[in-house]
Amino acid sequence: MKEAIRQHARELGFDDCRFTTAQPPQSAARLEQWLATGQHGEMAYMERTARKRADLQQVLPGARSIITLAVSYAPNGEGSRIEDRGAGHAADCGARTAGFGAEATQRPGVMARFACYADYHQVLGPPLQQLAALVNQLGGAHTRSLWYVDTGSLLERDLAQRAGLGFIGKNTNLISRHLGNWIFLCEIITTFELEPDAPERNRCGSCTRCIAACPTAAITAPFQLDARLCISYLTIELRGPIPANLRPGIGDRIFGCDDCLAACPWNRFAREGRLMKTHARPHLTTLDLRELLALDDPEFKRRFAGTPLLRARRTGLLRNVCVALGNTGDETHLTALQSAATNPDPIIMEHAAWAIGQIQNRRGN
């Protein structure tokens, strides 16, 4: 049964497939403590779903097994050299933002690698649905299965480690010995009982590269992350203003941050993902930041339909662009920022004004 599921998973494009029980995750207590200290920031859904994450029977009554799957989004040839790119610009989708014109001297903006593909929720949903259908068929008439792509109330990294898919690194992300850091996780929780695979053990050793690489010191200790300091949280999840004291650390990043992932030496084993390969969006690697500042909401939605950038919403993305220009721009970008400073959205207006002040301070005005 397991081999039939694994074989079908490979045929559907998944890069790894492992099995574990539906027993409560060991990290449930740590999640409760993390929430109690407010390190989840404004991600209120984490609190709302905490009980389900600790008790999988609340997700699917009668659940017995969980199938954990990994999908690589490492570009071809990245595995052997990704760790040598250097902190601060290690995960820039393989290309820098262009189009500023000959007079512009700003360093280009950076997006997290996963954002240079079609939205993985939409890409992985159909093959997961097909695999869940096979599980139900093999399990018999009374089998029930639910599939998730980073959307369910599951402590998926804990479950993936227990299934042997990888180990949770000091950066709190799952690391695969065969795929490195560049992986999407998804799961099928089912009432069909399947023999669990052996768990993976931690293999970080004495390495602390990911901790040293974090631009905002969000990895407060090995295996501990304060989301409120994390650039991915600040540029994607946070809806309000970015705290002024954290803006300089964001540098030229406009959507997410991969520095702690890119620093990991296990990435030498990363390989190009078969499933995501056809869903690359090369045009997302050549965005003009000044042009982005002029986008209205309909144009924003049209331009980024079907991509992860929609998650930040127009306000969030333009807020991030203002911060990037404030950190790395010069006087050639003031006109675009001055226009943004008259935007009726108070968040865009305030961040544009901040960026103008930063550039003027560097210019000595």
Task: Count other C-beta atoms under 10 Å from residue 346's C-beta.
Answer: 11
Which residues, in sequence order, are bridge partners of residue 19? 67
HEC per residue, 306-357: CCHHHHHHHHHHHHHHHHHHHHHCCHHHHHHHHHHCCCCCHHHHHHHHHHHH
Residue from 15, 84, 150, 158 carrying the catalytic annotation = 150
Phi and psi of 216, rounded to 5°? Answer: -120, 15
Token pair in block for residue 346: 């108070």
Token pair in block for residue 339: 């226009």
Angle between helices 2-12 and 120-139 (to 10 degrees): 150
Q: How far apart are the first and last CA of the chain?
A: 70
Cβ within 8 Å of residue 192, ≥6 positions away: 64, 65, 135, 136, 138, 139, 140, 143, 145
Q: Is 258 an active-site residue?
A: no
Give the residue from 337, 221, 249, 223 showing the smallest Cα distance to 289. 337
Amino acid, res. 349:
M
Coil, helix or strand at residue 137: helix
- HSE (side-chain half, CA atoms, 13 Å) at 155: 25
Whether 131 and 8 have beta carbons less than 8 Å apart is answered as yes
Size (the chain), residues: 365
Which residues, in sequence order, are bridge partners of residue 30? none
List % helix, strand, coil for the chain (3-state, nearest 5).
45, 15, 40
Could you list the beta-strand ranges (E) of the chain: 16-21, 65-72, 110-111, 145-148, 167-168, 174-175, 183-190, 219-221, 224-225, 253-255
Active site residues: 150
